[in-house]
Amino acid sequence: MEIILGKTAGFCTGITLALDKTNKELDKSDKVECLGDLLHNDQVLEKLKNKGLVVINDIKEAKQKVIIRAHGVKKDVYDYAKENGIELVDCTCPKVLRVHNLAEELSKKGYYVVLFGERKHAEVLGTFSFCKQGEIIENLDELKQRIDYLNKQEKVAVITQTTYNLQKFSEIEKYLKENLTTENEVYNSICNATENRQKETEEIAKQVDYMIIIGGKKSSNTNKLYEISKKYCKKAIKIETVQELYNEDLKNINKIGVMAGASTPKESIDEVIKYLKERD
Ligand code: SF4
Last residue of a domain, one of 74, 93, 112: 93
Query: What pLDDT is stored for residue 8 in this prediction?
Result: 97
Answer yes or no: do 84 and 115 share one domain.
Answer: no
| Site to substitute for ligand 1 among 100, 118, 191, most atoms within 8 A of C-beta | 191
CA-CA-CA-CA dihedral for 170, 125, 96, 185, to nearest 10: 40
pTM of the model: 0.89
**Nearest-atom index, ligand 1, CA of 163:** 1
Give me the number of domains the chain comprises.
3
Ligand 1 in reach of 19 Cβ (< 6 A):
no
Query: What pLDDT is stored for residue 171 in this prediction?
Result: 98
Range of the domain at 184: 95-190
Ligand 1 in reach of 190 Cβ (< 6 A):
no
Nearest CA to ligand 1 atom 1: 194
Query: What pLDDT is stored for residue 205 in this prediction?
Result: 98
Query: What pLDDT is stored for residue 218 in this prediction?
Result: 85
Distances (CA, A) of 280 to 1, 211, 253: 6, 16, 10
Q: Give every CB contact of residue 48 below 8 A, 6+ residues apart in sequence.
A: 22, 23, 26, 38
- Under the banding of pLDDT at 50, 70 and 90, the label for residue 40 is confident
In what helix (H) or strand (E) does residue 127 lie, and over which residues does it extend? helix 122-128
**Nearest-atom index, ligand 1, CA of 192:** 2
Name the nearest CA neighbour of 186 among 197, 198, 174: 174
Last residue of a domain, one of 93, 120, 152: 93
- For the CA atoms of the chain, what is the radius of gyration? 20
**Pair 44, 64: CB distance under 8 Å:** no
Answer yes or no: do 200 and 154 share one domain.
Answer: no
> What amino acid positions are annotated as catalytic residues?
123
What is the Å distance from ligand 1's center to 71 Cα?
A: 8
**Pair 33, 25: CB distance under 8 Å:** no
Mind listing the pLDDT tens digit for each residue in 187-206? Answer: 999 999 999 999 999 999 99
Answer yes or no: do 178 and 232 share one domain.
Answer: no
Nearest CA to ligand 1 atom 8: 14
